[in-house]
Chains A and B, each alone.
Chain A
Amino acid sequence: MPAFWINMGPQHPMTHGLWNMKVQVDGETITDARPELGYLHRGVEKISEVREFQKVIVLTDRLCYVSSITWSHAYCLAVEKMMGVEVPERGQWFRVISLELQRIASHLMWLAAYGPDLGLLTALLWSLRERELFLDLIQLMSGMRMNQNYPRIGGVRNDLPENFDAMCKRSIAHFLRKLEKEYEPLLHESKVFQMRTVGVGKISAAEAINWGVTGPNLRACGVDVDVRRLDPYETYEDVDFEVQTWKGPDAGDSYSRFICRFREMRESCSIILQALEKMPKSGAYRAKPPRRGEGEGYARTEDSRGEALFYVCGDGDDRPYRVKIRSPIFCTMAATPIMLRGNKLADVVAILGSIDVCVGEMDK
């Protein structure tokens, strides 16, 4: 029998954006898969080359609309390394807080997408409801709900509002209560949820490393790596947090990826609370960067989806000469055929939902 290919996408509810997963099936079993990317390619790297350093932040914000701050921050960090700009300590703490708020908001958005993938509409409604709390906090910090344009080369745009501490603590306490009382009984302990995800979409740790899978997807394979701890940037050295790694059996399946992401939200809450205590109450939060830059800068950060890497070259002009973006999900996508092979067609949704696809950053 000739190979039978099914196009899942570009207009498929599973894709969460525009991309195409071609799946080869033998009956119900997947024998091969081939992702097709590029439907959302906007040429961010090329457009960056004609904009001044500061104006590129507008573009990097739009790389991924659910995780804008983390992307702009990675870009700013790379440019700071190139220009040799030192961020004041208070600005670094602001960044840590905003990054973790953004991470929680991003993970909640993923949960809101993953629930309906498996037929669990409650997860959509609940996590979007809780995401509002964090969007409100981000709005307090930066003035925007989305595409915040908040990090600056040399610091952040503005100071915290006066009563931010209290509001942040109140929201986080509320959220932690919800996690324990509502989310865990709904998802972790649900037999149906486990039947759909446990043992599905497996990838081994060695293969995951070799294929460049990073972030929560790699930690789900039992590899204890987090760039926040491996190569600490900003003030992550001064906060205590536990890297969420899957330690049980069935490492690298959809359920372990779900658990790692889910637990990261709790860790992020703890990081934010520590940062609120430890950050200085007054002082500068932004250094003035030079207008022009020369040389090359490189920075890697732990984005919500994995390792984000920016490589920026300057030729002494006020614009970057070359900006290279390493998108974690672009690399994870290369490994999806391994996760899919041997599973049933009905599990494609349960597998691809669990890796948290964001097409904006994947296609750049």
Chain B
Amino acid sequence: MSASTPPVGPVIGRPVAGIEQEVLAHLRQRFGAKLVDAKVVRPLVAEVAIDRADLLAVCQYLKEALAFEHLGCISAVDWKDHYESVYHVENYYNGCVVQVNARIPHDDPKIASVCGLWNAANYHEREAWDLMGIVYEGHPNLERILLPKDFKFFPLRKDFPQEVDRQYISRRKLRGGK
């Protein structure tokens, strides 16, 4: 695959038009049916949905073959029937961003850690474990980072209650309406 070798030379940090189509074509060619969903969101941004088993293979391909050297963010989302671990992987050579959505079943919140590829994942995965309770297997030091060590809950899960009444004082309500 000659077209997918990483660009050599220093980072120029300028956007390349149409790069998201190219990256998506490479991903489709390499992974085919393993991509549950693949689309272009807007210029420079592509999105793929995968199963959690394919995460490491996709990330490794993105980093090593397509030069996505910067891991922007790892977000965990609780969709009530399943979790999702969302990776925003960015390329400094052409400005492309690939959003990788990995689906995780609700009763078994585990997924492979990408710390071996990007060290930046270390803190993001600890944060996702801390607040959402997703276990990143293979993480070197998976412990709470923002909350106290003896905290027993995962506050960003949807079943963690939070006071909503006081947040909703609208003018209409103050006047006695609903």
Report A's interface with B, CB cutoff 8 A.
Answer: 37-38, 41, 43, 45-47, 49-51, 81, 207, 209-212, 214, 223-226, 229-232, 243, 298, 300, 307, 309, 311, 313, 321-322, 324, 326, 330-331, 333-335, 363-364
Contacts and interface: CB of A to CB of B under 8 A. Distances in A.
Nearest to B126: A334
B113 interface: no
B156 A231 contact: no
B85 to A, nearest CB: 11
Contact of B146 (A214, A307, A363): A363
Given A243-B13, A311-B75, A298 B92 contact: no
Interface stretch (B21-29, B51-59, B102-110, B116-124): B116-124
B95 A212 contact: no
Contacts of A224: 10-13
A225 B155 contact: no
A79 to B, nearest CB: 14
A229 B14 CA distance: 6
Contacts of B45: 298
Contacts of B42: 81
Given A49-B162, A243-B13, 10 more contacts: A45-B131, A207-B119, A223-B11, A224-B12, A226-B13, A230-B13, A230-B15, A324-B75, A330-B123, A334-B123
Contacts of A335: 119
Contacts of B88: 298, 300, 309, 311, 326
A37 B92 CA distance: 29
Contacts of A331: 120, 123-124
Nearest to B170: A52
Given A37-B145, A212-B71, A300 B97 contact: yes
Contacts, number: 112
- Chain B, interface size category, equals 35 or more
Contact of B95 (A49, A210, A230, A363): A230
Contacts of A326: 72-73, 88
A212 B71 CA distance: 6
Interface string B148-173: 10000001100010101001100000
Contacts of B44: 231
Nearest to B167: A50
Q: Could you say which of A214, A230, A311, A335 has the most chain B C-beta atoms within 10 Å of its C-beta?
A: A230
Contacts of A211: 119-120
Contact of B162 (A50, A207, A223, A324): A50
A225 B123 contact: no
Q: Could you say which of B42, B75, B124, B167 has the most chain A C-beta atoms within 10 Å of its C-beta?
A: B75
A297 B46 CA distance: 12
28 contacts: A38-B144, A38-B147, A38-B148, A41-B146, A50-B167, A209-B70, A210-B119, A210-B120, A212-B70, A212-B123, A214-B70, A224-B13, A225-B92, A229-B13, A229-B14, A230-B14, A230-B92, A230-B95, A243-B13, A298-B45, A300-B72, A300-B97, A309-B72, A311-B88, A321-B77, A322-B78, A334-B123, A363-B146
B73 to A, nearest CB: 4
Contact of B73 (A43, A311, A334): A311
Contacts of A37: 145-146
Contacts of A364: 146
Contact of B69 (A38, A49, A210, A363): A210
A174 to B, nearest CB: 32
Interface in B73-117: 73, 75, 77-78, 86, 88, 90, 92, 95, 97, 99
Contacts of A225: 11, 13, 92
A39 to B, nearest CB: 9
Nearest to A363: B146
Nearest 3 Cβ contacts at the A-B interface: A212-B120, A324-B75, A326-B73
Interface string B24-64: 00000000000000000110110000000000000000000
Nearest to B70: A209
A226 to B, nearest CB: 6
Nearest to A323: B75
Contacts of A81: 42
B167 A333 contact: no
Contacts of A207: 119
Contacts of A43: 155
Given A81-B42, A223-B11, A231-B44, A46 B156 contact: yes
B155 A313 contact: no
B15 A231 contact: yes
A41 B147 contact: yes
A38 B147 CA distance: 6
A257 to B, nearest CB: 18
